[in-house]
Amino acid sequence: MPTSIARITLHPLSIPLKAPFVTSLGAIDDVENVVVTVHTQDGRTGQGECSPFWTINGETQGTCLEVGRHLAKALIGRDALDIAGAHGVMDRLLFGNSSIKSAFDIALHDLAAQHAGLPLHAFLGGGPAGEVRPLFTDYTVSIGDPERMAADALAIVAAGFPVIKVKLGDDGDLDIARVRRIREAIGPEPPLRLDANQGWDPDTAIRVLNALAPFNVQHCEEPIPRWRFLELRHVREASPVPIMADESCCDHHDAERLIGLGACQRFNVKLGKSSGLWKAWRIIALAEAAGIAVQVGGFLESRLAFTASAHLAVAGAPVRYADMDTPMMFTADPVVGGIRFGAGGAITLPEGPGLGASIDPAFLGAGGIAVERR
């Protein structure tokens, strides 16, 4: 079969960040990602990437490479166009490991869209290239001293970004002071997006969000621990700031559960949580039916995986927000093609069939893991 999978390679991708990326879950100094390349019998290649985030999905670069080797063995010889079947194989083989599964999923979608002769967003169900709606990313202020956060926010405003994302969650009173200081520095615009990364208990979340409501806040991501999702509705009802589920909304099963509970007004979709585009699209379909707005974000992926996220964002009707800034934090750009970041946070998608992005081989080196059909 021309589209059967003949070879799969896995490579580590490690790049320092310009500055530490700091959340209530800790600080990260370096990108430690994994790149998956799927080769078909007819000579096509598709490429995907994941950014394991061990405080959220429990994966590391090392575990992704090892688990990825097992996934590759299970997928060799299968039809690359059968993406649903590939997910069935991966999920039957082992539970979880959504990060490395997302890299395989992106590579398979790249191949399927190439085979169809369509840009990935059109393959997913979006309109033709000339009808792609505008997409703009926010930029993130890491958690820290209020004065430093205010200075970072001023730099983001000077760069023209339309929205600022603010990391919070380690101390409720200090979080209020942080946002107040940012507003004193930058004025009433642009809007802020808050992300507590599960840092507050429900009472603290309600108190802090009521205090911060006057500061032009669009929403707050995951204000309480993910395992307390049954209490999220109480927070939503008591908060004047819309609640966005992030860590508690990994795949479409989580989305369905949260909708049934009336837990939140918004979902944050990340390919590294959902196991890739196939399940992410199912979250978006559920959100559309329930009237829930969607943000498409990510972890510390390069422009490769974020190109897949951008294709998803412009294809999905309820996607209103984009959080795709982390590739701009890299000290080096390893991607050929892919999305481009313009003035004011504007994101331009690549043209042509498939994903439209690949990793420069110079960043992958001679190492890595190769699994071939025997």
Quick one: tokens of 186? 């930058």
Q: Any catalytic annotation for residue 18?
A: no
Please, what is the Cα angle at 200 between 165 and 172, to 5 degrees? Answer: 75
Q: Any catalytic annotation for residue 101?
A: no
SS3 297: coil
Q: Any catalytic annotation for residue 273?
A: no
Q: Any catalytic annotation for residue 165?
A: no
Angstrom distance (rounded) from CA 294 to CA 44: 33
Per annotation, catalytic residue among 59, 152, 195, 325: 195
The residue among 41, 66, 57 whose CA lies nearest residue 301 is 57
Q: Any catalytic annotation for residue 49?
A: no
> Which is it for strands 243-245 and 217-221: parallel, antiparallel or unpaired?
parallel
The continuous run of DSSP H or E covering 285 comes out as helix 277-290
Per annotation, catalytic residue among 152, 222, 246, 323: 246
Q: Which DSSP symbol is given to 19?
A: E
Angstrom distance (rounded) from CA 110 to CA 119: 9
Per annotation, catalytic residue among 59, 152, 247, 270: 270
The continuous run of DSSP H or E covering 121 comes out as helix 120-123
Per annotation, catalytic residue among 165, 167, 273, 279: 167
Angstrom distance (rounded) from CA 66 to CA 139: 33
Residues serving a catalytic function are 167, 195, 221, 246, 270
